[in-house]
Amino acid sequence: MEKKKYPIINVLLKPFELALQKKSLSWERDVLLALHESRIEWSEEKAAYPVECIIFSKDRALQLHALLTTYFQKVSPPPPVHILYQTSGISHQKAYEDVITLFAGDNTYFIKQKDDHSFREDLLHLLESLQSEKVFFLVDDDLFIEDVNMTDFANFDTDKFVPSLRMGLNLSECYTLQKEQPQPEFLPSPFNDPDKIVWRWDQGVYDWGYPLSVDGHLFSTREIIVLTKFISFNAPNSYESNLQDFCWLFSTRSGTGYRKSKIVNIACNKVQAENDNICGNVHQDYLLEQWHSGLQMDYRQLYGFVNKSAHQDITFDLIERSSM
């Protein structure tokens, strides 16, 4: 996005004074002004839903099927879900068409990327079509392992918090960095709910200090649209990576979530070449073969699983699709 110059009107910056003190460069000022304008222009009449979900997916029909099934089994009420997906060949596309058929009519919308280079354009178009005040993202190797009261989750104030479905007191390691992960100092909860935890993102280490994740974190829709327009990216990984340019905006917000992780990322394979993240050795093409032979993930065996990392290489079984 071209870094548009706004007139410098100090009164417009009042809601963001603290952040502006931390960052005074012109680009940051442009971001703050654009965010303020979006706040002025936002109308609650646009919000047909409290929250919507966006899932990123590529060549993982079997894993996407497991995520969507757990989504509809574990999330109540399940918000509209939009799957922005890409496939690398006819066989993968056929598998996605199977999944599309299975979830037809479930307030589930599949959007295929126009081409290999259209992810940014397609995502912005999708974000601007949302009819909700808030949005959370998932990736296709996520899985819901606990029940989620979505009314409760969507009720968190995104001006004060970055709520997370993936964080929990069970997390003690960072799989992607292969390091132990100390927990932050937890703050007194303002929610009068013993199941909720609160901490400062700017005082957290690794996943506890990573507010701009696309693995189950809740954001203001209007806010995430503005931020997305200010960065370049080619795929989900570079999107998440470049969102980190805005960590300074979230440094004064707290993290919040539940004592036990609601989702886990099953890091059994990798379908992108944007980074060198470690993963397991269950290749997506092997899972594609299993899908076409009529199998699915036995996701129920992971309900209640106590993961020690937000990402984890978890062994899972495959079973006949007709048996679930």
Q: What is the pLDDT of residues 53-89, one digit of tens each?
A: 999 999 999 999 999 999 999 999 999 999 999 999 9
Host H or E run for residue 284: helix 284-292
Three-class SS of residue 233? coil
**In CATH, which of 3.90.1150.10, 3.30.360.10, 2.60.40.420, 3.90.550.10 is domain 44-319?**
3.90.550.10
Sequence letter at residue 317: D
Q: What is the pLDDT of residues 234-256, one digit of tens each?
A: 999 999 999 999 998 987 899 99
% of the chain exceeding 90 in pLDDT: 73
pLDDT interval class at 28 (50, 70, 90): confident
Chain centre distance of CA 51 = 13
Q: Where are the domains of the chain?
A: 10-41, 44-319
Nearest by Cα to 208 from 237, 169, 239, 244: 169
Token pair, residue 190, equals 């303002």
Beta bridge mates, 209:
none
Average pLDDT over residues 290-299: 97
Contact 145, 304 (CB under 8 A): yes
Three-class SS of residue 70? helix
Q: What is the pLDDT of residues 75-84, one digit of tens each?
A: 999 999 999 9
